[in-house]
Amino acid sequence: MNLDFIAKPMGMLVELLYNMVSGLDSSYLSAYAIAIILSTIIFKLLMMPFTLKQSKSMKKMQELNPKIKELQEKYGKDPQTLQRKQMELYKEANYSPFSGCLPMLIQFPILISFFYVIRSPEIYVFDNQQAYDVINKTFLWIRDLSFAENYVYESGIINGISMGMAIPFIGAALPILAAVSAFTTYLTTKMTSQPAMNEQQEATQRSMNMMMPVMIFIFGLQFPAGLALYWVVSNIFQLVQQYIVMNSSKNPKEELK
């Protein structure tokens, strides 16, 4: 799927933000890192109408879960009747079990295009490799967001570029950002998981809740650290949003209208 038509405008947004905060560039927090953080927040704000709809749908499902459990206990041996009763319950509560799918489908290509931008900023943000190579790309303990977090640098410099070697998984220090990416992914998957309808679904959901953080941790060690920074900021934003929605005092049925 070629998403250049979406990735290029997002790259322009990152470039705009980078130029706006270039005066804040420092040896510990680069303007490039700040631009990634701000663009992630703006992206999440733009997606908020869709994610709020999805979050409210999850809240409604949690409200219905006790009644669904009762139906499962009563009609568990009759799948057809159970399915019919569940649909009647959904209709009565004015809830669609597919109401959370559309927001996910809308967000997916935009998420992928944002991934393109952060993975290849020399193409979508800075127009050429040379312009990207010369900018400051530090973030706290990470020397260069364009490399994986476990990248080990040598003391030598060739043609103005620091040369190094990658040690799989460990590197020169603990991969903190990759670990935070995995942990926040675990929290978001737990918080946004729909109540399981049966034991098989519950087991599948439990496996996914464990596999996703592990995958994200491995990706955090293989891809540029800028992507891990984007992922952490995105997850934190989602966690705060989900917490506010799930603890809202409003009637979930009214929220879905």
Rounded to two decimals, the pTM is: 0.73
The pLDDT of residue 169 is 46
Residue ranges in the chain modelled with pLDDT below 50 = 155-172, 251-257
Per-residue pLDDT reduced to its tens digit, 161-194: 443 444 444 444 567 888 888 999 888 887 766 6
User: Which backbone phi and psi does 95 adopt, to 5 degrees?
Assistant: -125, 140
What does 112-141 look like in DSSP terms, one character per residue?
HHHHHHHH-HHHHTSSSHHHHHTS---BTT
What contacts 196, CB < 8 A, 6 or more positions away? 202, 205
Residue 162 β-bridge partners: 157
157: three-class secondary structure by DSSP: strand
